[in-house]
Chains A and B, each alone.
Chain A
């Protein structure tokens, strides 16, 4: 219901407030501020100029920091939105798998997934409304400027809310009603509509924020003269769309995994444990599947940021934000290690896995080594004594590991070995029966060996034997190598293990409890990482609302330090986790029935 109200609120806002005649907020906005600006916000053809604001043009509320409020609320909205956009994607896929295999377990699990997210929808809408109000209160001229450019999309955004909500409610409440035959097809179609509406919503919102980073349709005088499509289809729109789409799926998987882990720990019956173990495994599988291409989507986004503005790219990777990527390395290392650890623990489900246990230590060693390379900073921060002892600002041997080609090599190796972990897990309790099994294994070993050799060659050649501008040129062929090796190995594996013999049964539920903590770690690290990357995405605009066009002159226009940002992200993560626990509890409490003895008339008599 809150989602419908949220949609209604946005429609009202879009229709009545956002066009140019929006009543001015009494904030002491000077005449000159809008001399060329808001007065011209009527039509795109006349041009829309950004106002020049003064600190007094930003309304204040005593004791409240507007920027932190907007920051936290936007981040909370984004976390929930990512979750509720992602869950229907894999619910749709799992439902389709259940439909095609006629295995009801898939259908039940898909239903349980969507049940978890249903309460989160309301919270997403409430936080979206809170965000709109926060922006109107603290940054009225910014939202007025963006509203003047994007009013059409904001209107359709609000309408899409209705479509998405209707599709969601029908999809969820009609799950048991629309079962079997044609009805199931109708239900699956509803899932498709739900996903299409959700994705379009995200793309529209992405257009607004990427316009602030890479504005399009701006003339040399800083006036917006383009149309709404030009503004939406700006340079960073698609890179962000792709990155968010992939990240959302990985994130959704990790949150559902945490839910399953909690239920597993709380389960008292063996069947319950088996069910939630399977659910946790599936969620982790979804998270890993999306986690593997995620660094590539990130590199694509960073490359496009460079292509749009070298200055912005350097600020991002080599300037004041450079150290943030060391924190990011710790977080991504945590994600990969916890996802792999969960897989290795999962090998306890079958006695057949014992054959592969001896390889785990090597996998762990390589993944940790790759993480440490990624973690190595280029420039060290040292005291005088340390600098003297080291003989310079760079370490003689570790310094070369601090540059991007070394890190690109490390992350590709980490991804390949994670894929290898998964392949080993898949075959843990089975033996291939096809005649060419030996040859298939040899091809897989050759593929991995050649792929790793190529990744190292590209990284070393481009990183240390070419000009600086070509240093990152190795990243694309490295990515292609990794993807080809993974795709080819999975195809060979799938064919090789068709009709394979089971060595020992896979016993769902027989997994150590510590494996569940790996799932929690995955969810917490992912949430925190998203918050951190949200800070940098927004932070690289520095003192601009819209880069190069609309300057931020508020008292909070400064770029905060990483520690300050981390504290805000941590507070946000704790609030988010508390809200998620509430959502999980809601999904549980709805199934609990209490019969009060002697309370109702009928019982009393």
Chain B
């Protein structure tokens, strides 16, 4: 009986340790809830709203940033996709049928192997087969309108004229990434939550890893500030290093929060 009790206790302590470690030894990341189904009224949409939809799809339901991000490095970055598309269409390795930038971007989503960027092909395919799935099917399952909205977003991202048209003849059922938290109400709350002060001097914090932001509004305009948050490596201030700031704030923040922070920083003069 003594042995039995000892073995039982030993087993329970072992199980208890694993349970404790899983609950308190690692961060508890709350996975995003499943995407919620909702109807979109495309007929009443402005191009700005349509582009915003594209951004949401790109960063949410489309799961594009899983690979097309500086962190992962598993697929080409798409900030300059619009500019490069001309070269791609003229490349002899190009196997698609697109004739312009919008067509090329759209085709890349449904026939990703039409052109595979060097070094990003499936292993053993000599860059002829893309590992990317056709995003109109499978678990991504984007609708035609959603893919066009992504094209509009990518064109805007590269600073090009948006040539894609909003589909008017159909009101497709679409899905939007649901969010699990309420947006922060003030810029200070958002700055505290996103831990900006850990690296920057801002909002009473004294971080030293990044530039001092206490009077940043004097030096930089809104568009520069916005870009610095969304794409921190786009321009690095003198004396600071690349890759120090997380590149995924664009995915973590709501658009409203981003704008609140930009306004807050722009006002620091």
Chain A positions near chain B (C-beta within 8 angstroms)? 220, 222, 262, 265-266, 307, 309-312, 314-315, 318-320, 323, 326-327, 330-331, 377, 381-382, 384-385, 387-388, 391-393, 467-469, 473, 517, 520-521, 524-525, 528, 532, 542-544, 547-548, 552, 557-563, 565-567, 570, 573-574, 577
Of B10, B22, B199, which is within 8 A of A520 by CB?
B10
Contact in complex: B133, A309 (CB < 8 Å)? yes
B12-49 interface with A by 8 A CB criterion: 12, 14-16, 18-19, 21-23, 25-31, 33-35
List the B residue with the shortest CB-CB distance to A527: B15
Q: A384-B205, A547-B138, A567-B19 are in contact. List 16 more A-B contacts (CB 8 A).
A: A220-B137, A222-B137, A310-B133, A318-B72, A331-B18, A388-B208, A467-B73, A517-B10, A524-B14, A547-B139, A548-B138, A558-B33, A561-B31, A567-B23, A570-B19, A574-B12
Contact in complex: A388, B141 (CB < 8 Å)? no
List the B residue with the shortest CB-CB distance to A263: B3
Contact in complex: A543, B74 (CB < 8 Å)? no
User: How far apart are the CA atoms of A528 and B22 in the complex, in Å?
Assistant: 12
- Counting from the closest, the 3 A-B pairs by CB-CB distance are A566-B22, A543-B34, A468-B73
Query: Does B67 interact with chain A (Cβ within 8 Å)?
Result: yes
Residues of A within 8 A of B19 (CB): 566-567, 570
Of B66, B137, B199, which is within 8 A of A387 by CB?
B199
List the A residue with the shortest CB-CB distance to B131: A310
Chain B positions near chain A (C-beta within 8 angstroms)? 3-4, 6-7, 10-12, 14-16, 18-19, 21-23, 25-31, 33-35, 63, 66-67, 72-74, 119-120, 122-123, 131-133, 137-141, 195, 197-199, 205, 207-209, 244, 246
Residues of A within 8 A of B31 (CB): 320, 542, 558-561
User: How far apart are the CA atoms of A393 and B249 in the complex, in Å?
Assistant: 14
Residues of A within 8 A of B6 (CB): 265
User: How far apart are the CA atoms of A331 and B3 in the complex, in Å?
Assistant: 25
List the B residue with the shortest CB-CB distance to A394: B243
A145 to chain B, nearest CB (A): 17
User: How far apart are the CA atoms of A381 and B122 in the complex, in Å?
Assistant: 33
Of A326, A393, A559, which is within 8 A of B26 by CB?
A326
Contact in complex: B28, A562 (CB < 8 Å)? yes
Of A315, A381, A517, which is within 8 A of B27 by CB?
A381
Residues of A within 8 A of B35 (CB): 543
Contact sample, A vs B, 21 pairs, CB 8 Å cutoff: A310-B67, A311-B133, A312-B139, A315-B66, A320-B29, A323-B29, A326-B26, A327-B25, A330-B21, A381-B27, A387-B199, A469-B74, A469-B119, A524-B14, A528-B15, A542-B139, A548-B138, A557-B34, A561-B31, A562-B28, A570-B18
List the A residue with the shortest CB-CB distance to B136: A220
Residues of A within 8 A of B131 (CB): 310
Contact in complex: A542, B34 (CB < 8 Å)? yes
List the B residue with the shortest CB-CB distance to A327: B22
User: How far apart are the CA atoms of A468 and B120 in the complex, in Å?
Assistant: 10
User: How far apart are the CA atoms of A318 and B199 in the complex, in Å?
Assistant: 25
A266 to chain B, nearest CB (A): 5
Contact in complex: A266, B3 (CB < 8 Å)? yes
User: How far apart are the CA atoms of A532 and B66 in the complex, in Å?
Assistant: 24
List the B residue with the shortest CB-CB distance to A570: B19
B14 to chain A, nearest CB (A): 5
Contact in complex: A310, B132 (CB < 8 Å)? yes
User: How far apart are the CA atoms of A557 and B33 in the complex, in Å?
Assistant: 8
Residues of A within 8 A of B132 (CB): 310
A289 to chain B, nearest CB (A): 23
Contact in complex: A311, B23 (CB < 8 Å)? no
Given A265-B7, A542-B34, A561-B30, are A467 and B119 also a contact pair (CB < 8 Å)?
A: yes
Contact in complex: A528, B18 (CB < 8 Å)? yes
Contact in complex: B139, A311 (CB < 8 Å)? yes
B175 to chain A, nearest CB (A): 10
Contact in complex: B139, A544 (CB < 8 Å)? yes
Residues of A within 8 A of B22 (CB): 327, 532, 562-563, 565-566
A525 to chain B, nearest CB (A): 7
Contact in complex: A262, B7 (CB < 8 Å)? yes
Contact in complex: A561, B28 (CB < 8 Å)? yes
Contact in complex: B66, A311 (CB < 8 Å)? yes
User: How far apart are the CA atoms of A381 and B26 in the complex, in Å?
Assistant: 8
Contact in complex: B195, A384 (CB < 8 Å)? yes
B135 to chain A, nearest CB (A): 9
Residues of B within 8 A of A309 (CB): 133, 138-139
List the B residue with the shortest CB-CB distance to A267: B3
List the B residue with the shortest CB-CB distance to A323: B26
Given A311-B139, A528-B15, are A388 and B199 also a contact pair (CB < 8 Å)?
A: yes
Residues of A within 8 A of B139 (CB): 309, 311-312, 542, 544, 547-548
Residues of B within 8 A of A326 (CB): 26
User: How far apart are the CA atoms of A467 and B74 in the complex, in Å?
Assistant: 9
Contact in complex: B34, A327 (CB < 8 Å)? no
Residues of A within 8 A of B199 (CB): 387-388, 392
Contact in complex: A573, B15 (CB < 8 Å)? yes
List the B residue with the shortest CB-CB distance to A578: B8
A261 to chain B, nearest CB (A): 8
Given A314-B67, A384-B205, A517-B10, are A558 and B34 also a contact pair (CB < 8 Å)?
A: yes
User: How far apart are the CA atoms of A319 and B251 in the complex, in Å?
Assistant: 14
List the B residue with the shortest CB-CB distance to A381: B27
List the B residue with the shortest CB-CB distance to A562: B22
B269 to chain A, nearest CB (A): 25
Residues of B within 8 A of A391 (CB): 209
B200 to chain A, nearest CB (A): 10
Contact in complex: B195, A392 (CB < 8 Å)? no
Residues of A within 8 A of B141 (CB): 548
Contact in complex: B29, A393 (CB < 8 Å)? no
User: How far apart are the CA atoms of A330 and B14 in the complex, in Å?
Assistant: 12
A596 to chain B, nearest CB (A): 23
User: How far apart are the CA atoms of A36 and B139 in the complex, in Å?
Assistant: 19
Given A262-B3, A262-B7, A563-B28, are A388 and B21 also a contact pair (CB < 8 Å)?
A: no
Residues of B within 8 A of A330 (CB): 18, 21
B160 to chain A, nearest CB (A): 28
Contact in complex: A552, B207 (CB < 8 Å)? no
Residues of A within 8 A of B209 (CB): 387-388, 391-392
Residues of A within 8 A of B140 (CB): 311, 548
Of A320, A377, A524, which is within 8 A of B15 by CB?
A524
Contact in complex: A524, B11 (CB < 8 Å)? yes
The residue in B21, B22, B73, B208 that gathers the most chain A C-beta atoms within 10 A of its C-beta is B22
Residues of A within 8 A of B122 (CB): 307
User: How far apart are the CA atoms of A180 and B25 in the complex, in Å?
Assistant: 57
Contact in complex: A314, B26 (CB < 8 Å)? no
Of A311, A468, A567, which is within 8 A of B63 by CB?
A311
Residues of A within 8 A of B30 (CB): 561
User: How far apart are the CA atoms of A567 and B6 in the complex, in Å?
Assistant: 23
User: How far apart are the CA atoms of A319 and B16 in the complex, in Å?
Assistant: 26
Of A521, A542, A561, A566, which is within 8 A of B29 by CB?
A561
Residues of B within 8 A of A558 (CB): 31, 33-34
Residues of B within 8 A of A387 (CB): 195, 198-199, 209
Contact in complex: A577, B67 (CB < 8 Å)? no
User: How far apart are the CA atoms of A403 and B265 in the complex, in Å?
Assistant: 36
